[in-house]
Amino acid sequence: MKILVPVKRVLDYNLKPRVKADGSGIDLANVKQSMNPFDEIAVEEAIRLKEKGIATEVIAVSIGEAKSQETLRTALAMGADRAILVTHDGVAEPLAVAKLLKAIADEEQPGLIILGKQAIDDDSNQTGQMLAALLGWAQGTFASKVEVSGETVNVTREVDGGLETVALKLPAIVTTDLRLNEPRYASLPNIMKAKSKPLATKAPGDYGVDMTPRLTTLNVSEPPKRQAGIKVASVDELVTKLKALGVAA
């Protein structure tokens, strides 16, 4: 079976986002952008399924500006076989992204689509679930273990109370949590090889999807800053403080 892996280019997770002075958003000019960490985990999982002989082909997809090519090349260098870039310069909301991914899934007929559970920029945590709804497929979100056997995939999910396992009929959607795997680094030879792997460029219009956002961002601001407080010098002082806070008798 084929596996589709949507990957998103986001502000590198090591960087602290800066809010633009005019309140229109986050300043992304000249800052390092990388693959969303959850999507690296998704790519890794797909490649492992191919290495186990369960998947036959891994296709990475990204929706975004032309530079998202770099993110796709990273996925190819990790081991994806080919890539599709749907270029779009403005805001791409999860609903629109899910509609594009549905159209691509209709064409490619994958057995599994593995997404990140959330993108670390907008933190929406929606795209996978929306795609599952549009395709009418089952969903295994926040996965920490994925086991494919025959026509079924068993997904162990990280839920608020602990862990939960569901059995899903294939084709299905999986979204990755942090502990699913540790993504590999692409080796230099593989980075070179990735340059010649196929990368198709498309436009939302090719799939008949209207990208008009439903949400308007009125304003983006910095959260109230916490002030650093005081340092105490001893445990006794800390005990006094805790008593003053009323949490210790």
Site for ligand FAD in 176-215 (CB under 6 A): none
Q: x/- site string to other proteins, residues 172 to 211, per CB under 8 A?
A: x----xxx--------------------------------
- 209 to each of 6, 35, 95, 182, 197, how far by Cα in Å? 17, 24, 10, 34, 27
| 139 is a site residue for ligand FAD (CB under 6 A) | no
Q: Distance between CA atoms of 15 and 90, rounded to whole angstroms? A: 22
Give, for 25, the enclosing helix (H) or strand (E): none
The rounded radius of gyration (Å) of the Cα atoms in the chain is: 21
31 binds other proteins (CB under 8 A): no
Q: What residue is closest to ligand FAD based on CB? A: 116
Classify burial at 47, counting beta carbons within 10 Å of its beta carbon; exposed 0-12, middle 13-18, buried 19 or more: buried
Half-sphere exposure of 53 (CA within 13 A, CB side): 1
Residue spans of alpha helices (H) in 121-170: 127-135
Q: Which pair of tokens denotes residue 2?
A: 């084929």
Q: Which is nearer to ligand FAD, 178 or 192 (CB)?
A: 178
Using alpha carbons, select from 183, 177, 99, 185 the residue that is nearest to residue 143: 177
One of 59, 92, 135, 173 touching ligand FAD (CB under 6 A): 92
Nearer to other proteins, 109 or 124 (CB): 124
Residue 114 near which of other proteins, ligand FAD, none (CB within 5-8 Å, type-dependent): none
Q: Fill in the per-residue mask, 113 to 132: x = in contact with ligand FAD (CB under 6 A), - = not in contact.
A: --xx-xxxxxxxxxxx----
Interacting positions 73-132 with other proteins (CB under 8 A): 93-95, 98, 117-118, 120-132
Give the residue, chosen from 39, 40, 81, 177, that forms a contact with ligand FAD under the rule CB under 6 A: 39
Residues 73 and 66: their CA atoms lie apart, in Å, by: 12
Site residues (vs ligand FAD, CB under 6 A): 6-8, 13, 25, 36-39, 61-64, 91-94, 97, 115-116, 118-128, 217, 220
